[in-house]
Structure 1
Amino acid sequence: MNAGSTPCRVETSLGPVEYAAYGDGPPLLCLHGAMGGHDQSTILGRLLAPEGWRVLAVSRPGYLGTPLGGREAPETQADLCAALLEHLDVGPAAVMAVSGGGPCAVHLALGHPRLTRGLVLVSTCSGRITERLPLAWHMLRLAARFPRLGAMLRPKAASPEQAVKRGFGDPASRRAVMNDPEALALFAELSAQTRSRLGERLAGTVNDVAVTRSRDYPLEDVAVPTLVVHGTADPHVAFAAHGKQLAERIPGARLAALNGGEHAAIFSHRGQAQQAVAAFLSGLPDA
């Protein structure tokens, strides 16, 4: 299947899960962040996954075709991901999560280490997030509740330049994305997706915000190989409080610090992030 593969919804032992898949090789489970879904999990894979991996791009509970009911906690979201891997009978998977997908990924490693070959945590939290929510979150939440407002926002998302301007405060990061045609196209696609089907992304996003502002994690108990990829200038999930803490508290974790990178640093620092992920995945022990 290719990167544009049609998502499907399967009934696992713990309930329905929507996912899309592409590529061949060992499984790489990709988990999106807030305002996401399988489409944004797919972009994470397209942006960072090296050749030779089969990407399983999941809609986490509360997003698109995966219902939230009873899956609010990251532990239960992790259980559902484990049930998907067992349903597909693919064996242990590497897990790559971005932003709000981090708590689910961490609990997949904690609760199901036999199914987790390794973790790649991209711009994710180490515990409670205290940073203020960006204005864009409040606008998107209003747009999801009031479709006419959403319709007003969508034309602005059509311009890749405007998407980059909204997504990055640092001029150097903006230039880096604008000068990388593949990163620019993927970021514009991500921005457009965020503003589509808003009502089907809202429940999961509201839940993610609540989780990341109320939970801490026993990171010292994570016993699988881990790579932390984090921008040093992240305004939403601060590097010192989260990225650095993840690398220090998870035993043996590696840190790829993206110097000057913001929350979406994997677009502006794509080459560095790709190299770090490829080296990490290639060094994982055999399943």
Structure 2
Amino acid sequence: MVSRRAALGLGVVGAGLVAAGGAVASAYGRDMARARALVAPELSRVIPSRFGTLEYAEAGKGVPLLMVHGTGGGFDQGLFFARRFSEAGYRIIAPSRFGYLRSAFPDDPSSENQADALVDLLDALDIDRVAIAGGSAGALSAMSFAIRHPGRCAALLPLVPASYVPRDTPVQSVPPEQMQMAMAALRSDFLFWLAITTLPDLLTQALLATRPALIKAADPAEQARARHILEAILPVSLRADGLLNDARLASNPAPMPLETITAPTLALSYEDDAFGTAAAARYIGERVPGARVKVFADGGHIGIGHDAESFAVIDGFLKQIGYAS
């Protein structure tokens, strides 16, 4: 339930913008048109899976890399995060997870069922084995894939994984009341647009778990990357079911039998990620046989200042294990 103060906060901001009249309507219409263009149906395909429709898109040519997006994403986010790989000789396959964009939202949208749906996608594409990267909440699906389908998993890459780690208390990126304000906007394109337009620092901290000061100190390219990640959550109305499911799965992730993972594994994170994924990455390194771990000193949840370095670490790992040439 959204707190009264959070609702009042959005209401006061909304009243002020409504008073601005046509300029607000024009800006909202322009931004929404741009957001919808990034997820236009002609940019992706859909296949039938055992859990309903599954959407995906591809970019690049070469060895396949299955890029499983994080919270607030879809195929578009997967392609965006993997753009360096598609430019470097990888064939990126980017699905939309359950409840995102044109993918179905089944009765049981678990990470395990999502992993099985990814097998259906590989079968449709006639791909036997694949390296799989999963970002944030998407790491849960990627890890489940490696556990449930070891014969199909050539390498596992949990990136800023929102996975289980023993803790006394759950991690909160912002105070609960502010998170409630952010979550209040998740089924309304206008409210979400309003929030990121008027309260970008709050949404950056709440949803991207990255200090706004870190972004402001970064170079222009990294600032633009962070801004795109936040703005590209629109249209949020097409992602709301997935977002809320991720909030359920990642807020209290269940332990997994990590000791059974046989695929070469590299877990990557950033020490100051407010979602606490550095600890999760290290836990994966402790439990998965032979796993490697890379934790940068800073970068927040989206790796600000380390985009090129992170690519180099992952690319080097895949080449070292003989998956990529």
TM-score range, shorter chain: 0.7 to 0.9
SS in 2 for 1:145: coil
Aligned to 1:230: 269
CA contact (8 A) 1:225 1:253 kept: yes
Q: Which residue type is aligned with residue 171 of structure 2?
A: E
Query: d(CA) in 2 for partners of 1:218 and 1:142?
Result: 35
Q: TM-score, normalised by structure 2?
A: 0.76
Aligned to 1:209: 247
Tell me which of 76, 80, 91 is aligned to 1:39: 76
Query: d(CA) in 2 for partners of 1:162 and 1:143?
Result: 13
Deviations 1:90-135 (A, max 9, x none): 2211111110001100010011111111011111034168112546
Distance 1:57 1:232, change over 3 A: same
Superposed displacement of residue 203, structure 1: 1.1
Distance 1:103 1:239, change over 3 A: same
Aligned to 1:243: 281
Q: TM-score, normalised by structure 1?
A: 0.85
| RMSD over equivalenced CA pairs, Å | 2.8
CA contact (8 A) 2:51 2:117 kept: yes
SS in 2 for 1:95: strand
Query: d(CA) in 2 for partners of 1:256 and 1:132?
Result: 23
5+ unaligned residues in a row in structure 1: which ranges? none
SS in 1 for 2:122: helix
Superposed displacement of residue 221, structure 1: 1.1
CA contact (8 A) 1:258 1:272 kept: no
Superposed displacement of residue 20, structure 1: 0.9
1:255 and 2:293 matched: yes
Aligned to 2:112: 75
What aligned pairs does 1:82-231 form with structure 2 within 5 A after superposition? Answer: 82-127=119-164, 130-132=170-172, 134=174, 137-153=179-195, 155-156=197-198, 168-169=210-211, 171-172=213-214, 174-176=216-218, 179=219, 181=221, 183-194=222-233, 196-212=234-250, 213-231=252-270
Q: Which residue type is aligned with residue 292 of structure 2?
A: R
Superposed displacement of residue 187, structure 1: 2.4
Distance 1:170 1:142, change over 3 A: closer
1:56 and 2:93 matched: yes
Q: Which residue type is aligned with residue 24 of structure 1?
A: K
Query: d(CA) in 2 for partners of 1:150 and 1:187?
Result: 16
Q: Which residue type is aligned with residue 286 of structure 2?
A: E
Query: d(CA) in 2 for partners of 1:190 and 1:260?
Result: 18
Query: d(CA) in 1 for partners of 2:215 and 2:286?
Result: 27
CA contact (8 A) 2:99 2:241 kept: yes
CA contact (8 A) 2:163 2:254 kept: no
The farther-off stretch of 73-82 and 144-153 is 144-153
Distance 1:9 1:257, change over 3 A: same
Distance 1:163 1:15, change over 3 A: closer
Q: Which residue type is aligned with residue 235 of structure 1?
A: A
SS in 2 for 1:104: helix
Distance 1:257 1:175, change over 3 A: same
Q: Percent identity?
A: 26
Superposed displacement of residue 243, structure 1: 1.7
SS in 1 for 2:132: strand
Distance 1:238 1:75, change over 3 A: closer
Superposed displacement of residue 35, structure 1: 1.5
Aligned to 2:55: 18
Distance 1:271 1:147, change over 3 A: closer
Query: d(CA) in 2 for partners of 1:137 and 1:38?
Result: 25
1:279 and 2:302 matched: no
Q: Which residue type is aligned with residue 162 of structure 2?
A: C
Distance 1:163 1:103, change over 3 A: closer
Distance 1:49 1:276, change over 3 A: farther
SS in 2 for 1:263: helix
Q: Which residue type is aligned with residue 66 of structure 1?
A: S
Distance 1:175 1:154, change over 3 A: closer
Q: Larger C-alpha radius of gyration, 1 or 2?
A: 2
Superposed displacement of residue 73, structure 1: 1.2
CA contact (8 A) 1:43 1:186 kept: no
